[in-house]
Amino acid sequence: MHAITIPEPGGPEALVWAPVPDPVPGEGEVLVEVVAGAVNRADLLQRQGFYDPPPGASPYPGLECSGRIAAIGPGVSGWSVGDEVCALLSGGGYAEKVAVPAGQLLPVPAGVDLKTAAALPEVVCTVWSNIFMVSQLRPGETLLVHGGASGIGTMAIQLAKAVGARVAVTAGSPEKLRYCGELGADFLINYREQDFVEEIREVTAGAGADVILDIMGAKYLDRNVKALATNGRLAIIGMQGGTKAELDIAALLRKRGAVTATSLRGRPASEKAAIVAAVREHVWPLIDAGRVRPIVDREVPMRDAAAGHRVLEESSHIGKVLLVTGE
């Protein structure tokens, strides 16, 4: 088979489409013949040499894919060769085939084509685990999503609205904010022109956001705490704004606030399986019913994954960028 390899860390040009050995499914795994993968920020970090795969994972980038089951490993039940699936991965999605633990498989939802399903696993598992399983967003509460037009952001808007929450988003252009509004976001904040702390206080009558989903990390830490409501929960899932910052513990104590930081890739397979099971139970019916949908900005051939990485680095996209095999 072929896969995107990274002979040396660097820019997008470091991604090389090359022949590699076929993976073999082990105990509890299936082999998926990949139809499409998707580009995530973690892939950019891996390409640059800053985010190695977990021990035992595929060395190739790619944290989600869609395709058809080509082989079943020992100890797997409930799946058959030929099933159309999408999968949460620890790596290896930028390839023509990938071995996946059966607990990280999901059926392709009704009304979603096989290629587009590649846009679902990573974002849905990230959003559901952080906003609902950890931060316990409830109906009537206010969620603030940074990067509302991203793959994570567009999914967070839809899921939060589906459970009856109010949603505020930040984005850097009128076009992106308009799209967030079309998805259901109630409050639109242009972070280039507005102070999100002041804006969130104004739209919540001074209360603040009950839950904040943050991709920026250090750069936004102090302001996120200021934007939290009493008993608010800040979920940090990215570090685009750096990794080190001072935290005003007194301010957090006054608000009885909580700060959590999670990553999905390095979790044990059992934890990933639990998240995938929760997603299948709670989110897949919403997608089947057409209340939630994947947002895809564009498709590029997988062999030209560099083009997909450039799109993310330019932040010109809305939703997900797919890498498609066989084109």
Based on DSSP, count helices (H) and strands (E) in the chain, helices before strands.
10, 15
Tokens representing residue 75 in the block: 């100890």
pLDDT bracket for residue 313 (50, 70, 90) = very high
Cα dihedral 147, 149, 152, 156 in deg (nearest 10) = 100
User: What pLDDT sits at residue 287?
Assistant: 98
pLDDT of residue 29: 98
Q: Read off the tokens for 292.
A: 């939630």
Query: What percent of the chain has pLDDT above 70?
Result: 100
pLDDT at 184: 98
Dist CA 143 CA 166 (whole Å): 6
Alpha-helix runs per DSSP H in the chain: 41-47, 121-127, 151-162, 174-183, 196-203, 221-227, 249-254, 269-282, 284-288, 305-314
Residue 327 has pLDDT above 60, yes or no: no
DSSP secondary structure string for all residues of 26-38: -TTEEEEEEEEEE
d(CA 87, CA 68): 10
Q: SS3 of 265, please?
A: coil
Q: What are phi and psi of 65, to 5 degrees?
A: -160, 170
Instruction: Write out pLDDT tens, residues 183-240.
Output: 999 999 999 999 999 999 999 999 999 999 999 999 999 999 999 999 999 999 999 9
- Its pTM stands at 0.96
Which pLDDT score, from 0 to 100, does residue 251 have? Answer: 95
Extended strands (E) in 28-115: 29-38, 64-72, 84-88, 97-101, 105-107
* Cβ atoms within 10 Å of 276's Cβ, excluding its own: 23
User: What phi and psi values does residue 227 have, to the nearest 5 degrees?
Assistant: -85, -10
Does residue 30 have a pLDDT over 90?
Answer: yes
pLDDT at 326 over 90: no
Residue 119 to residues 43, 69, 128, 156, 293: CA-CA distances in angstroms?
A: 14, 18, 15, 14, 10
- pLDDT, average across residues 248-253: 96
